[in-house]
Structure formats: C-alpha cells, structure tokens
Amino acid sequence: MKRIKRAVTIHDVARAAGVSISTVSRVLNNKDYVAPETYEQVQAVIKEMGYASSLAARSMRSRKTGVIGLVVPDVGDPFQIQVMRGINRAIAEFDRDLIVYTGGDFTKEASADRERYFVSLLNGSITDGMIIVTPAANDFSSVSPVVAVDPNSHNSDYPAVIATNYAGVLEAMEYLIGLGHRRIGFIGGRPELQSAVQRLQGYKDGLQQAGIPVDPDLIQPGDYRRETGSACAERLLGLPSPPTAIFGANDQSAIGAIEAARKAGLGVPDDVSVVGFDNIPEAAYMNPGLTTVDQFIDQMGYVATEMLVRLIQGEDLDRELYEMPTELVVRGSCRSL
C-alpha cells in the first residue's frame, strides 16, 4: 500500500510544478484561462504526486461540494435498498457523489436524534443537501435543503416523495373483496409515517365502501418489519374467527405473515390469501409470487434526488410533494373464496 507520510497539498504541487498555488487551483477547477502548456504541466504533476484536493478545505471555501447525503435507518431493508438504487442512478446521472449514513438498531427516539445529528454534522458543510428515508425525526435544522422519502406524519412541510398509498390500498382491497373475502386482517406499518397512516385508512375505507364493518381485532400494530409481521399474523390466525385474507402494510410484513401461516400449517393462498405493498424484488421471487401494490420504489429514490438537485441549484419545485402512482400487481398469493 502506497501510504504517503503527509498528505500532499496544493502547495506541494505548486512548488513541484514551479507555479503558484492559484494556478494550480485554476487548473483544478477548470476556471479562468490558463496557458495550455502550464495546464498540461500542472496536470502531469498532480497525477504524478497523486494529489487530491481536500474535501474539507474545499467545502469550507466554496459552498458547493457536489456531494449529496442520504440517511437511511436500516440498510438491510429491501425497501430502503430499492430507494438507494434509484438514488444511485440519479446520482450518476446528475454527476454528484453520494455519502450515506445509516443508523444501527436504535429506538425511535434515538434514531430521531441520530438523524438530526447527522443532518447538522454533514449538511451545509460536507454535503450540499440530504435525502432522508422514512424519517423518525419530524424536524431538522439545516442550512441546506432536505428531501424526505416516505415522510413522517409531522413534517409534511418538507419537500417529499410519497406513493399514492391510500388509492393503492383501496384498489387492493377492492380486489380482495371482489374475490369474496369478508374477514380481512391488517398488519400496520410504522405509525409515525404518513404511508402507514394512509394505508390503514385505505384499509378501513375499503371495508366500509363494501359495507363491511371494521373489526378492531383484525388490525394489528406492526412496524414494517418481517419479524413483527410474522408475530402479528400469528395473533391474527389464532383468533377465534380468523381472517381469510391478510393485508400486510408492506411486503416485509406480508412475507412475515406467509411465514407465520406456514408455521401454523396453513397454505397460501389455499387457506389464507396474503397481499403486500411495495413490490420489492423478493415479492416476485417467492413461490407463490406475492400479490402486492407496486409503488415503484427505486423511482421514488430517483425523483427525490432530482428534487434535491433542483433545490441545491436554487430552482423551485413544481410541487413540494411528489405523489408516485401505485399499481396493483396480481400474483399467486390470493385466491377467491
């Protein structure tokens, strides 16, 4: 490993090239006119010395760094991975760099604090702007713009991208009810997120539109995680009058529900139908495939990045809230009664 004793600075380059630091700075930034031969000269020295300008120093002088920050609660979560994919795509396209921060396993309170900490640590100093996925915190103080993906219920004043959760669930409920299901269980999401609230509402309204009363026993409080989904489904299936279908607020919950069903010796879709929300890649891999509501996750990441870049460039947004249309994807996890 070529471990250099002391970092090579713009000074070193200038000295080696026999020019002043301003000239080096100029060739670095491709601004102002530099004599072609001087340019080549300096470039050669830079390459030879393996010089790279210090992000720290650079960002201190000029407000733009070209790097975007991303805060995700859990890198292991498929939803969040998909969002990252979309962001990565956009990052490449907009010629930015991406730095991501990810918390560990924290309580809701602790993650909110970590999010705030990271925003104030990075934003405006190292980072031109940040994207926060499913924020636990509901306010951030930051010089630079912040965009949320699937925002917290209490920070609707941030620019954000969110799916048409309500409409999506409604469509899926109609499908389920059309199949003849009347007792439909629901595994909720992280209640502090708008998506979770909207999906729950869609569930209730879907029932009501069909004239089916809402049974509180059929609504289990989840948190978008697979294990929790499994536990919720277990309770649902253990009810005196168990549901014939289960709606997971996201695919992870639904997958957990399927696991619970199998563990209880129940077949999907033969004994219980299951529907999810998200359309993560796993949903298609499964056997049978999971019927779910596609919310085009990676596109959400892309759009969020696009919005953030506009804000960074000082442009205005067409709309502060981008609503990603959803689409029901029917696979094999449901059957008609």
> Which residue in the block uniquely carries the two structure tokens 């607020």?
249
Residue nearer to its own copies on the CB measure, 139 or 171: 139
Q: Does residue 313 touch DNA according to CB under 7 A?
A: no
Question: How far apart are CB 115 and its own copies at their closest, in Å?
Answer: 13
CA distances from 151 to 137, 199, 214, 236, 336 (A): 10, 14, 27, 28, 35
By C-beta, is 43 or 142 nearer to its own copies?
142
- Using alpha carbons, select from 112, 135, 131 the residue that is nearest to residue 123: 131
CB 123, min distance to DNA, A:
13
Name 101's bridge partners. 71
Name the residue nearer to DNA (CB basis): 28 or 83: 28
Distances from the Cα of 270 to the Cαs of 32, 267, 290, 314, in angstroms?
72, 5, 14, 55
Pick from 20, 209, 313, 336: which binds DNA (CB under 7 A)? 20
Nearer to DNA, 28 or 160 (CB): 28
Nearest-angstrom CA–CA distance, 257 and 94: 40
Nearer of residues 11 and 263 to DNA, judged by Cβ = 11
Q: Decide which of DNA, its own copies, none touches 126; Cβ closer than 5 to 8 Å per partner kind.
A: its own copies
CB 30, min distance to DNA, A? 10
> Segment near DNA (CB under 7 A), from 21-29, 68-76, 145-153, 293-301?
21-29
- Do 203 and 170 touch, CB atoms closer than 8 A? no
Among 54, 208, 209, 313, binds DNA (CB under 7 A): 54
Beta bridge partners of 331: none
The site map against its own copies for 65-104 (x = CB under 8 A) is ----------xx----x--xx--xx-xx----xxxxxxxx
At a CB cut-off of 8 Å and minimum separation 6, what does 253 contact?
187, 189, 222, 224, 225, 226, 228, 229, 232, 276
- Judged by the rule CB under 7 A, the positions of this chain that interact with DNA are 7, 9-11, 19-23, 25-26, 28-29, 31-39, 53-54, 57-58, 60-62
